[in-house]
């Protein structure tokens, strides 16, 4: 984490106001999501196995977050007033690294080193990649705690940034998540927005085969959160949910985004496989199905 700046809070606010969200329209975001899906397939196919289902399923979430919602400066990853974007589901690395490259936050050529021995582009996203990664969350459930701390720090330091975290549904089985949720709700951390990637999939299979998660929305409301339930592939709904989160002045926001693992590729869509094998012929068929344009 970078050292505290010597700028006053008022100077921070002026700096923050001078940089706006990219705010791409829905039509362009669809193209972004499509490009990200192709990139996920291309990255995972090199090794024949990886977190392809999660990447395909969450493409719209990441397109909306990084290309419309978040105030970030690709040229300055240490900008103190940037919106924080945390990947609590650290294994969704193919999608995350593809997003960083497309957004101009890492060189596109660096994707060639994805999960190679010694590469900073690891199978679980880590801070070895540099300040573009807000935290290492290889132990699932930790992203929520860090996000709540960052949101509280914004209030204490008087720096008006937002904190966004992508959370996996399997992470709801971690007690640490609920401790952080209770803190955030009690403190009224309205600058905190969590997107739950609800794909009903974890290492052991369907989440219900491990622990029953429902009623998810009611649980978060009980912790004093604004809860918005959306189709995680509906970009209009995602953008409206993010806008509602920005407009909330009293409590944090949980966006429950239901997604389909493997979305966009018929051979993979709906298949519950946490770390999927991707044979060359399946990868080729997937890229052919996706085509060059959406």
Whole-number Cα distances in Å, 289 to 50, 52, 259, 283: 20, 15, 20, 10
- Considering only CA atoms, which of 280, 293, 218 is closest in space to residue 254? 218
153-186 core/surface letters (b: 16 or more CB in 10 A; e: else): ebeeeebbbbbbbbbbbbbbbbeebbebbebbbe
Is beta strand 276-277 parallel, antiparallel or unpaired with respect to 49-50? antiparallel
The pLDDT score that the predictor gives to residue 197 is 96
Which residues face 87 on adjacent strands? Answer: 166
Element (H, E) at 286: helix 280-290
Domains of the chain: 23-290 (3.40.50.970)
The SS3 of residue 194 is: strand
CB 36 within 8 A of CB 43: no
Classify 211 in phi/psi space as left (phi over 0), alpha (psi -120 to 50) or beta. Answer: beta
Could you report how far apart the first and last alpha carbons of the chain are, in Å?
A: 38
pLDDT digit string (tens) for the chain, length 294 residues:
333 344 444 554 455 445 678 899 999 999 999 999 999 999 998 887 778 988 999 999 999 999 999 999 999 999 999 999 999 998 899 999 999 999 999 999 999 988 888 899 888 899 999 999 999 997 788 999 999 999 999 999 999 999 999 999 989 999 999 999 999 999 999 999 999 999 887 766 676 766 788 899 999 999 999 999 999 999 999 999 999 999 999 999 999 999 999 999 988 887 776 666 788 888 899 999 998 544
Q: What is the DSSP annotation of 100-149?
A: HHHTTSS-GGGGGGTT-TT-SS-SS--GGG-TTS-----STTHHHHHHHH
The pLDDT score that the predictor gives to residue 276 is 67
The pLDDT score that the predictor gives to residue 6 is 41
């Amino acid at each position: 984490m970078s050292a505290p700046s010597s700028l006053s809070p008022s100077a921070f606010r002026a700096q923050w106001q001078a940089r706006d969200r990219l705010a791409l329209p829905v039509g362009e975001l669809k193209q972004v999501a499509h490009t990200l899906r192709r990139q996920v397939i291309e990255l995972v196919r090199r090794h024949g196995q990886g977190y392809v289902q999660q990447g395909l399923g969450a493409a719209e979430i990441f397109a909306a977050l990084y290309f419309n919602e978040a105030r970030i400066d690709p040229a300055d990853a240490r900008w103190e007033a940037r919106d924080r974007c945390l990947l609590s589901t650290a294994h969704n690395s193919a999608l995350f690294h593809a997003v960083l490259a497309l957004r101009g936050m890492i060189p596109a050529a660096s994707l060639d080193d994805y999960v190679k021995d010694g590469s900073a582009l690891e199978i679980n996203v880590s801070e070895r990649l540099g300040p573009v990664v807000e935290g290492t969350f290889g132990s699932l459930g930790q992203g929520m705690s860090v996000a709540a701390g960052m949101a509280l720090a914004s209030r204490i330091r008087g720096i008006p940034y937002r904190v966004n975290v992508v959370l996996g549904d399997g992470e709801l089985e971690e007690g640490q998540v609920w401790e952080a949720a209770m803190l955030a709700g009690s403190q009224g951390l309205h600058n905190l927005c969590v997107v739950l990637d609800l794909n009903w999939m974890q290492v052991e299979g369907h989440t219900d085969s491990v622990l029953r998660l429902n009623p998810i929305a009611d649980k978060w409301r009980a912790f004093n959160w604004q809860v918005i339930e959306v189709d995680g592939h509906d970009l209009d709904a995602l953008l409206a949910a993010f806008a509602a989160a920005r407009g909330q002045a009293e409590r944090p926001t949980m966006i429950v985004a239901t997604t389909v693992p493997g979305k966009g590729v018929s051979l993979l869509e709906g298949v519950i496989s946490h770390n999927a094998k991707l044979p060359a012929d399946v990868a080729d068929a997937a890229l052919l199905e996706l085509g060059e344009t959406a």
